[in-house]
Structure 1
Amino acid sequence: MRSLNLHLKILIAVLVLLGAGITGYQIFVLGIPVSEDETDDLWNIDAKVAFIATPNVPVKVQMYVPPLAHDFVSLNESFISNNYGVNVNRIDGNRKVTWSARRASGNQTLYYRLVLTKRYSQDKPKVKGPVFRDSVPLDGPEKVAADALLAPIRQHSADVETFIGETIKRVNNLNDDNVKLLLGGDSSPVHKARVIDLLLSVAHVPLERVHTLRLVANMPQVPELWLRSFNGNDWLYFNPETGEQGLPADRLIWWTGDDNLVAVEGGKKVLVSFTLNNSEMNAIRLAKLTDENTDADFLEYSLYSLPLQTQQTFMIMVMIPIGVWVILILRNLIGLQTLGTFTPVLIALAFRETQLGYGIALFSLITALGLSLRSYLEHLKLQMLPRLSVVLTFVVVMIATISLLSHKLGLERGLSVALFPMVILTMTIERLSITWEERGGGYAMKVAAGTLLAASLAHILMSVPQMIYFVFTFPAVLLILVGFMLAMGRYRGYRLSELIRFKAFTQDNEAGA
């Protein structure tokens, strides 16, 4: 007996841990939303390239587009142009689109459109960078100024991270004569970045320029310059103006390197403008779109991979264990009397279409008429099988009659009575009749009321949209439910109704003592 108890406890623990583990993996690792109402941001980015084409000259426009290798997933990408060929290539970790045309003249407009999200981005393989580079040769005043700046930087830094941060801080001190000399009167962010790069090259610290776009809706945006360096394990990002470390979450890396965003051959006066806006999308739909546009397969082995019609069937099926769990609690813990375990659940399923009020009324009417017929058939001394056949046929006739009358009276809800399981109604009538004969009419009505109450409670819980979504999306929670059912299977204590029933007896014993 002890080994059996241990076996049961281990089984319950395994089921609960397995169910909780799978559900936790879906929520925290795959990022599947726990609520159907949860939404996520979609970013729509339009880059407009306008220029004047030189007549009778081939035109080639090259523009960097995001590599999407940093925390974002592309849902849609399109290149919009008129009479231009389009080609996209990867160059040194960047992506570059090339629009080309044999002839063009006058004002030209090209568009690049990108729709992306961040939620379902996956950890991509780390791209390593250099950890050493040769220094740029300096001489004269520039060498003296660089050495003067690097001496305190080395003294106040402990590693690559602090060395770069201290360098940026020093270069942004425009009151320093050495900084003034190196800047040469040009204190623009781009030139500051060149001076920072120069000082770091003397110290053999590699540096890359990173051009980002800030994701802010309905505001004009221009690419923002950041700096980055590889420390042997990770890329370190720095703001060249403030020395701030770490790329903010709302920055999208557009391209890296020293080149300009756009290069035009056969044209002039090129201008690039960005338009950003964001919208919200249902998170589970977003997960499906992400599956289609990446190799992540978040939902590949979930019920969402089934055909839509099959999904609707399973949305009902996965809720049946929830209904059974409700009946289990009502019978084993509270002590409610019902006609078996599954009859209330099947009645609760029928209530999905009839709705609760109509369902109870129709069920009560059909059952009452069926009991009357069953009582009449009892006087004919029929065997069980013919008797059940007659009752079943009578149930079908009653359902058809109620549906017809409801239609004629304009009560369309009554048509849904056809969804009641006829066999279940027939067996309910038969079992209630037998209970009536064996235990009396009062007890039979008590059991019938308990069945309706249990079916109603099960229907209410099984119809909660949030519950349906959660169980369908995370079916592993049913393993936790099975563990609870196994634990309930060994419960031998008093039911709530029994405690109330024997309360007076306990009080009499205490008074007698």
Structure 2
Amino acid sequence: MSRKPFYLFVFLLIAGGIGINAYRHKVDSIPFLPGSVQTTWTVEARVTFNANGPVEASLALPSDPAFTLLSESAASPGYGLSMARSNGDRRAQWTVRDAQGNQELYYTANLVPTGDLALEDEMATTTKRDLVWDEGLDTAAKAVIDQAWELSASNRSFAQQLAKIVANPQQQQNVALLLARYEPAKLLSRLLQSAGVRANIVLALKLEDGRRRQSLRPWVEVMDGGQGYLFDPVTGKEGREDNILLWQRHGHSVLELTGGSNSNVTFSIIKDTRSALATAIDMMSGDGRGMSLYNLPLEEQSLLRGLFLIPIGVLVVVFLRVLIGVKTSGTFMPVLIALAFIQTKLATGLIGFLLIVAFGLVIRSYLSNLNLLLISRISAVVIVVLGIIAGFTLLAFNLGLTEGLTITFFPMIILAWTIERMSILWEEEGPKEVMIQGGGSLLVATITYLAMDNELVRHWAFNFLGIHLIVLALVLVMGQYTGYRLLELRRFRPLAEDK
């Protein structure tokens, strides 16, 4: 029978697992490593003005693909507040029926850098070939445009040349003349628009930790081939650093005020560091994703975190049994014992397991003389195991050994079956086989515990569910192995010595 469908299925499982994990990291921003931290910026906008009667104030809100809005809030006692979107521009709108004197309104945004500095073609860029220049400036503007046009090959390169010229007015008299009438950003934008290039002024905020009373700086955004490019009109450089936040891109005013005068907008900035995982969870919650493990109650999340470790333990057991050849008492009993070790810690768990099984075997040897039915004998062992656990717990408490109290996490039914299997094995195969299988079970349980209790494994098992598809694929592949186990190769040692 062809195994191609099987290998295709395995390939799809691995590819699907890798794809899901990549999506979780790229789109949901879940970090690959536990303990990763994320830089966040808290920006507070302070609006002040003098009011005399009904007031309507509208503040542009940040619009930048390089930052994701984690949360936002506004402090405006006595004002009605609403968040609205107009022509692609999000704005905070405050209204009040009557206000007198000095007024202060606050808007606070918590922003997370995304690293996506690319600008899509969504802004209200304009071209105005028929721009009217002040008398005597049109000739100077045309000379500057012609000079840059000859040295360029595209809208972007044309903007690069113009930005360099505007940033160095001492090199050209025409530029110095134009700058006497226009600010650098306004001049660069008008020159580009006059040449038929889509350009507009955007207002940006430089993010620096601990800065107060900061103002927005004008930049010029130029469109070329559906992509936006930023230019600093003061330095003439293209591009921006990752701490530049575009606050207003769509051509509207930053603050629109009705019923007030002497308005001003200033910004305060604080840099913070927080857990990258917590930040990603908050961002997903803000997106309103209902189907998410993170929306479950904490108790259910804690339960699932433990259950999602079981496939990792199963993978370790399959590897040790199928490829290495370690004998165990019961197929997946070591996985359950390893889960108990996670609660008790390794040393306490090993001592508790050995004591319970040893005392259980003594009691089981007595029960074997009573010729009980299997179901009655197992039930009696379960009750005895419960009594042993309760006795050891009470003894540990009275001796002040608080670690001993955790042996209550051992699965009683599994312990009862382990004692029963070892007792039968003792009677049929002898104590040597009991030691081999019992020791193998403890060895596998210990290795499984070390794999499951790893912080990285815990992080991946719960946050990157695609890892379970990869585990399933590996289990299926190992299930096809029919060769010798590693421990079985020792039988051929005499043949190697004869050569």
- On whether the aligned pair clears a TM of 0.5, the verdict is yes
Aligned residue identity for 1:160: N
Residue matched to 2:75:
80
1:293 aligns with 2:282: no
1:204 aligns with 2:199: no
Measure, in 2, the Cα distance between the counterparts of 1:68 and 1:481: 42
Where 2:137 maps in the other structure, the secondary structure is helix
1:365 aligns with 2:355: yes
Cα contact 1:33–1:283 (8 A) shared by 2: yes
Where 2:104 maps in the other structure, the secondary structure is strand
Change (3 A) 1:303 1:88: closer
Greater shift, 344-353 or 380-389, is seen at: 380-389
Cα contact 2:230–2:240 (8 A) shared by 1: yes
Where 1:49 maps in the other structure, the secondary structure is strand
Greater shift, 100-109 or 448-457, is seen at: 100-109
Taking every aligned residue pair, what percent have the same amino acid on both sides?
A: 34
Change (3 A) 1:433 1:493: same
Aligned residue identity for 1:142: L
Cα contact 1:89–1:97 (8 A) shared by 2: yes
Normalising to structure 1: TM-score of the pair? 0.88
Aligned residue identity for 1:360: L
- Aligned partner of 2:215 among 222, 226, 239: 222
Change (3 A) 1:466 1:428: same
Residue matched to 1:439:
429
Measure, in 2, the Cα distance between the counterparts of 1:473 and 1:123: 28
Give the deviation of 1:455 after TM superposition: 1.0
Give the deviation of 1:67 after TM superposition: 4.1
Where 1:68 maps in the other structure, the secondary structure is coil
Q: What residue ranges of structure 2 are gaps of 5+ in the alignment?
A: none
Normalising to structure 2: TM-score of the pair? 0.90
- Aligned partner of 1:160 among 147, 155, 159: 155
Cα contact 1:212–1:255 (8 A) shared by 2: yes
- Aligned partner of 2:22 among 1, 21, 24: 24
- Aligned partner of 2:419 among 425, 429, 433: 429
Residue matched to 1:110:
105
Once the two structures are superposed, the pairs formed by residues 25-64 of structure 1 within 5 Å of their partners are: 25-53=23-51, 57-58=52-53, 60=55, 62=57, 64=59
Residue matched to 2:139:
144
Greater shift, 278-287 or 450-459, is seen at: 278-287
Cα contact 2:53–2:100 (8 A) shared by 1: no
Aligned residue identity for 1:199: L
Where 2:19 maps in the other structure, the secondary structure is helix
Aligned residue identity for 2:497: D
Residue matched to 1:241:
234
Residue matched to 1:321:
311
Give the deviation of 1:226 after TM superposition: 0.3
Measure, in 2, the Cα distance between the counterparts of 1:125 and 1:305: 32
Cα contact 2:305–2:462 (8 A) shared by 1: yes
Measure, in 1, the Cα distance between the counterparts of 2:93 and 2:310: 57
Where 2:457 maps in the other structure, the secondary structure is helix
Aligned length: 497
Where 2:169 maps in the other structure, the secondary structure is coil
Question: CA-to-partner distance for each residue in 1:371-418, whole Å, 9 max, x for gaps?
Answer: 122222333333323322222222222222222222333333323222
Give the deviation of 1:211 after TM superposition: 0.6
Greater shift, 391-400 or 58-67, is seen at: 58-67
Question: CA-to-partner distance for each residue in 1:121-177, whole Å, 9 max, x for gaps?
Answer: 899985254564342245863232223222222211111111122122223332312
- Aligned partner of 2:7 among 5, 9, 22: 9
Give the deviation of 1:293 after TM superposition: 2.2
Change (3 A) 1:107 1:436: same
Change (3 A) 1:217 1:441: same
Change (3 A) 1:417 1:134: same
Give the deviation of 1:340 after TM superposition: 2.3
Cα contact 1:302–1:473 (8 A) shared by 2: no
Give the deviation of 1:313 after TM superposition: 1.4
Change (3 A) 1:408 1:394: same
Aligned residue identity for 1:438: E
Where 1:502 maps in the other structure, the secondary structure is helix
Where 1:141 maps in the other structure, the secondary structure is coil
Change (3 A) 1:228 1:451: same
Give the deviation of 1:342 after TM superposition: 0.9
Measure, in 1, the Cα distance between the counterparts of 2:479 and 2:137: 85
Where 2:41 maps in the other structure, the secondary structure is strand
Aligned residue identity for 1:248: E
Cα contact 1:61–1:262 (8 A) shared by 2: no
The CA RMSD over aligned residues, in Å, is: 2.8
- Aligned partner of 1:177 among 161, 173, 177: 173
1:384 aligns with 2:384: no
Change (3 A) 1:322 1:93: closer
Cα contact 1:70–1:252 (8 A) shared by 2: no
